[in-house]
Amino acid sequence: MSIGGIRGNPAVARKRHCHRQGIRICRGSQVLNVACGGTLYQDIGKELSKNFPPEKKVVHMDYDNYDGHRHVVNIVEETPLHQWFEESLQDNMEIRVNSYHHQRVKRLAQRFKPMAYAPDGLIEGFYDPDAYNPEEGKFIMGLQFHPERMRKVNSDEFDYPGCTAAYKEFVKAVVAYQKRLNIIKRVPTSLKLDKELEQKRNVIVRSFSLARNLYEGGDNARQLKESDLKPGVEFFESNVALSVQ
């Protein structure tokens, strides 16, 4: 499983990361989207229309206020982001997130579902509904913003209680995933017989061995007693009876 940004060309990312469990942040979310068949805006300022109404214009990069810059995003209902930030959401389903980028998801890969939009319509978060269940070790999503850096000025306090939820849920998925791997890799221990069963097994094995010698006409065949062969006969008859039922 992985976390954070993924570097490398899209072909390598497709092969290594498209189906790998993890949370991709910022550039990592962009690479994940491309690896799975989506596309990007290479430069938001140049490629997007500059005729947006004032209320829809969004500054996605503020070099003068790098960590302090925030813009509004609208959370999509019934998504992981909705669950994590639910107690902080008002009727408008908005929170304010940080932003450090000039590239962005353009066409979202088919397998993903959006979790949040900026006012200009750009996707701020997405996930794979078929690969998200932390309790079962499933976790594939991308976030354009950095929840871990959304903290109040001169404080370690997070902007919202939900900022830590992404990482808590990811850790939960990692633990569940590891447990599942351990179960798969676990080799069953051999069955240990108690002394009585072990003795019976040895008697039956000896009986079959003597019967084989008798069949092959060994030198000791004439010295065999009926009682020596009886355990093997009884075992054979009982198993034949079970197979007929």
For the chain, domain boundaries? 2-185, 195-236
> What gap in Å lies between CA 149 and CA 152, rounded to an integer?
9
* Torsional sign, CA 223, 227, 231, 233: positive
pLDDT of residue 243 exceeding 50: no
pTM: 0.69
**Under a CB-based contact definition with an 8 Å cutoff, are residues 64 and 7 in contact?**
no
- Between the alpha carbon of residue 226 and those of residues 81, 207, 223, 233, the distances in Å are 78, 10, 10, 10
Name the residues annotated as catalytic. 26, 146, 148
Question: What are the DSSP calls for 160-200, one per residue?
Answer: SGGGGHHHHHHHHHHHHHHHHHHHHHPPPPPPPPPHHHHHH
Nearest Cα residue to 177 out of 141, 140, 135: 135
pLDDT of residue 59: 83
Which pLDDT score is estimated for 204? 66
pLDDT band at 10, cuts 50/70/90? low
The predicted structure's pLDDT at residue 7: 53
Q: Report the pLDDT averaged over residues 45-54.
A: 71
What secondary structure does DSSP assign to 22-42, as a single string? EEEETHHHHHHHHHTT--EES
Distance CA 220, CA 101 (A): 90
More confident residue, 29 or 43: 29
Structure tokens at 135: 């309790």
Domain 2-185 sits in which CATH superfamily? Class I glutamine amidotransferase (GATase) domain (3.40.50.880)
Given a cut of 70, whether residue 223 has pLDDT beyond it is: no
Q: What is the enclosing helix (H) or strand (E) of 10?
A: helix 10-17
Least trusted range by pLDDT, from 19-33, 136-150, 221-235: 221-235
